[in-house]
Homo-oligomer: A and B are copies of this chain.
């Protein structure tokens, strides 16, 4: 008889997308990976129902591929917002409209599996530390560039929440005093410049000045349709203006990384998410800005790298956090 394989279901609940995959407890790529739209639903019931359906389908798919001995140890859930980790409750998620949702208990009841809940940005950082670009480092700051700028911290192999539970919020660090208004109500937050919408805003504001660029053609003249993806597309096509817009976002991110690294002194920063996919168009100016003269002790001791698990860092990390909290599963 073969040794029984142990698997963990990893779940990443995002504002627009749900992702579920079966992750080997010993580490490795997720199997039976599936994604779905996040439904709008009162109190999170529709979201939880859909997620649990996806978990059951993934478990079934795994069993068909691996045989009935493909034992599943439990479920790790990456959720946005502030959490009561010990009780697995989402205290406050404005994106999803959840306030006091007992997510862990709901998932456990619907799947008959033990579950743990952790912040989504911390899960992404943990996933990269456990199985991705952060392997072998003591401490990782993970930054996810998307609709917002999320941050998570892994310290000595554990997600770091700080004394008050919300550590790692690099998106709302001030990088330009009195600068651009952020969705949080503040001014000059990193998120206002380096998120997808921030990049689009930089592009549109510059175009209003009459700059030459292919961007207007790409959106049939409707500048409101410009997104970070449009800017990337134009830059890849050789548009100097769009290339400069990406470089500006990268330089603002460099300022945020500088601040964060001076404070936390991690040995690695992993940059994840959509904007990060722009490759050298983004990481070139980022590296150049980080290399400029400035206080260097912490920066020189730290490695800044792109994520290695595009689209799955949260799923892998949520499974890893389950393993961490419940002890390594045994075969």
Contact = CB atoms under 8 A, between A and B. Distances in A.
A247 B175 CA distance: 19
A329 B309 CA distance: 50
Binding site secondary structure of chain A: loop
Contacts of A177: 175-176, 179, 251-252, 255
8 contacts: A82-B297, A161-B265, A163-B265, A163-B266, A166-B301, A169-B298, A177-B251, A264-B264
Contacts of A252: 177
Interface string A48-72: 0000000000000000000000000
Nearest to A91: B297
A293 B186 CA distance: 6
Contacts of A294: 172, 182, 184-187, 189
B175 A174 contact: yes
A218 B170 CA distance: 43
Nearest to A255: B174
A176 B259 CA distance: 11
Contacts of A297: 82, 164, 166, 169
A43 interface: no
Contacts of A176: 176-177
B255 A164 contact: no
B173 A265 contact: no
Interface in A76-100: 82
A73 to B, nearest CB: 30
A263 B265 contact: no
Contacts of A169: 262-263, 265, 295, 297-298
Interface of A: 82, 137-139, 151, 153, 155, 161-177, 179, 182, 184-189, 251-252, 255-256, 258-260, 262-267, 292-298, 301-302
> Which of A151, A163, A182 is packed against the most chain B CB atoms within 10 Å?
A163
Contacts of A172: 258, 262, 294-295
A173 B130 CA distance: 28
Contacts of A256: 174
A225 B294 CA distance: 27
B166 A138 contact: no
A168 to B, nearest CB: 7
Nearest to A165: B265
Nearest to A189: B295
Nearest to A260: B263
A135 to B, nearest CB: 14
A153 B176 CA distance: 24
B262 A164 contact: no
Contact of A295 (B182, B264, B292): B182
A266 B164 contact: yes
A245 to B, nearest CB: 15
A239 to B, nearest CB: 24
A140 to B, nearest CB: 9
